[in-house]
Structure 1
Amino acid sequence: MKKITILLITICIGSLLFVSCSNDSNEGTASADLTNIGASIAIDTSNEMDLNTGLAVATSTATAKTTETVVGICASITITTPNGGEYPKVILIDFGTGCKDDNNLTRKGKLEVTLTGALTTTGSKMTIKRVDYSINNIKLEGTIEHTNTTTVTTVPQWTRKVTNGKLTDLQGGVYTNSGTYTTKQTAGIDTPYVLSDDIYEVTEGTHTVTTSNGTTLTLTVKEPLIKKYSCTFISKGQLKIQGGILNGVVDYGNNDCDALYTYTHENGASFNLSM
């Protein structure tokens, strides 16, 4: 079984990849496709990070304040209610020309978060729009819609829809993306204003990523993905990934709070990767 280790220049932005391998032409081809895998996982990761940021500010701004400071978020936060009532509520998270968050990541630009109602209310939607936004100079565009679709109060559930997504890496590589995931909360339900104990399970969904050379990758939830709010990365679960010469499975491991994952191709070749 062949193993290639992928290292990133920056944590959790998988489109900046160095591949440790020989000059074998097959490995060179594999390296290019692994870069596409890394970029795809980085897109998912950045979506999760921005969703976490949206959840943090939405929870912290439950009062009628017009400004807010949220622990762990290095940004100025302003809140407006365009119609004069409690909702809709628009929260502007402004990272300015750059500041480092608790994960030592530099964010620039703005996230515009719009709430139609309380996140715990069925039917309420949180929309996150990226405005001239980047993480470690990786430009991120698009909109994330997080809609409460709960039908059983003891099992909170949301759909996450990404539209017009785009990641542009430092080399100018462009990865457009879109997709929808279904997420259920499995822990922290009894403490709605405390996020640190929340655990989410992505039970189903598909995401598509189109690379600069036109290759389209499809990532489908194969085994539920476990995302702890307290962890930057997904800690467990599997994604089926197909497109170009790729046909295999991304495995996030054994629920450890780390940046490691594995891609296993249909022929059994396994690649250890790190975000």
Structure 2
Amino acid sequence: MKKTAILLTTICASAFLYVSCSSNDTDNTPPSTDLTNVGASIAVDTSNEMDLNTGLLVTSSSNTGKTTETPAGICAAISVTTPNGGEYPKVFTVDFGTTGCKDENNLTRKGKLKITLSGSVITTGSKMTIERIDYSINNIKLEGTIEYTNTTTVATIPQWTRKVTNGKLTDLKGGVYTNSGTYTTRQIAGVDTPFVLSDNVYEITDGSHTVTASNGTTLTLTVKETLVKKYSCLFISKGQLKIQGGILNGVIDYGNNDCDALYTYTHENGTSYSLSM
């Protein structure tokens, strides 16, 4: 059975919080509130990926020696400090302003991202920490910290863990979604050009995160089939997540590696929902 759900976006790439179902057949299928939680969970994950991309872009530009230049695609004022006087730790403040500015994806960002490097992000053991300060995307408030730690053991296969703590998304209607989790990421393309990001392709091989809605419903999303994230794509383009919580028990499928906003949720009874971010 195939159904279509339209997730009306309030943040284009990152908040798909309202759902309608085109079919009148609702037997044994998740109600719209549960599909809303699915969308919110994807929104949380996508916003984390977006901020991680920003961190990589800003710090990669610094590694080329251009610390005073704002890299293409960033609509913010960037300042760099070295608190201990040496090369590291290095702290970047990415300031989008109180009224905000539109980035290359036509999303309005406000507030600040504080990005701290303990060492070069391509060096084993180094950590990039991203903190959100009065930060929002299209007025969707985002909080929490992302830690991106290099755990590479084979030089030709760079690898990181991405840990999110104290995550929180507040939507335009005041709905709150707290979140946390850890993913393992490895780079499978672009390794030979470490300071060029556009050709990078990453795989998220394992891990999970939990998202808890204001009503107490908690969803757990676990990597079922390796996820593919191209730096040049706004969204994950391939792979599957197992999703469980409340009445939900099914699989999110990101498709066939296309750079689009489409994905599906298939419930355990076989009902499939076509969704758009």
Q: TM-score, normalised by structure 2?
A: 0.95
* Cα drift, residue 19 of structure 1: 1.4
Which residue pairs with 2:85 in the alignment? 84
* Match in the other structure for 2:226: 224
Superposed displacement of residue 12, structure 1: 1.4
| AA in 2 matched with 1:92 | T
Instruction: Give the secondary-structure state (helix, strand or coil) at the position aligned to 1:107.
Output: strand
Q: Is the 8 A contact 1:68 1:78 kept in 2?
A: no
Secondary structure of the corresponding residue to residue 191 of structure 1: coil
CA distance in 2 between counterparts of 1:181 and 1:112 reads: 21
Q: CA deviation at 1:7?
A: 3.0
CA contact (8 A) 2:7 2:39 kept: no
User: CA 1:111–1:26 in 2, change beyond 3 Å: closer, same or farther?
Assistant: farther
- Length-normalised TM-score, structure 1: 0.96
Contact 1:21 1:27 in 2 (8 A): no
1:98-141 Cα distance to aligned partner (Å, 9 max, x none)? 10001010000000000000011000000000000000100000
Aligned residue pairs, count? 275
DSSP-derived class of the 2:40 partner: helix
Match of 2:68 in 1: 67
What is residue 199 of structure 1 aligned with on the other side? 201
Task: Note the 1:110-121 alignment, pairs <5 A.
Answer: 110-121=112-123
**1:250-271, CA deviations, whole angstroms, 9 ceiling, x for partnerless residues?**
0000000001000000000000
Q: 1:4, CA displacement in angstroms? A: 2.2
Unaligned runs of 5+ in 2: none
**Tell me, what secondary structure is at the counterpart of 2:63?**
coil
Q: Conserved in 1, the CA contact under 8 Å of 2:212 and 2:219?
A: yes
Match of 2:155 in 1: 153
Change (3 A) 1:197 1:146: same
The corresponding residue for 1:2 is 2
CA shift at 1:25, angstroms?
A: 6.4
Show the counterpart of 2:268: 266
Displacement of 1:62 in angstroms is 1.6
The equivalent residue for 2:245 is 243
Distance 1:230 1:107 in 2: 19
1:14 corresponds to: 15
Gaps of 5+ in 1: none
Question: Secondary structure, in 3 states, of the residue corresponding to 1:39?
Answer: helix
Aligned to 2:188: 186
Q: What residue in structure 2 maps to residue 256 of structure 1?
A: 258
**Does the 8 A contact of 1:15 with 1:36 survive in 2?**
no
SS at match of 2:3: coil
Residue by residue over 1:139-159, the C-alpha shift from the partner in whole angstroms, topping out at 9 and shown as x without a partner, is: 000000000000000100000
CA deviations 1:10-65 (Å, max 9, x no partner) are: 31123432414366665995211000000000000000000000000010012566
Q: Is the 8 A contact 1:66 1:80 kept in 2?
A: no
| Residues 197 and 102 of structure 1, relative CA distance in 2, 3 Å threshold | same
Higher mean displacement: 34-43 or 55-64? 55-64
Give the CA deviation at 1:88. 0.2
- Cα distance in 1 for residues equivalent to 2:27 and 2:68: 55
Q: What is the aligned partner in structure 2 of residue 54 from structure 1?
A: 55
Is 58-67 or 247-256 further displaced after alignment? Answer: 58-67
CA change 1:28–1:253 in 2 (3 A) is closer
Aligned partners of 2:257 and 2:64: how far apart in 1? 35
Identity between Structure 1 and Structure 2 (%): 76
RMSD: 1.6
Within the candidate set 98, 101, 116, 2:100 is matched to 98
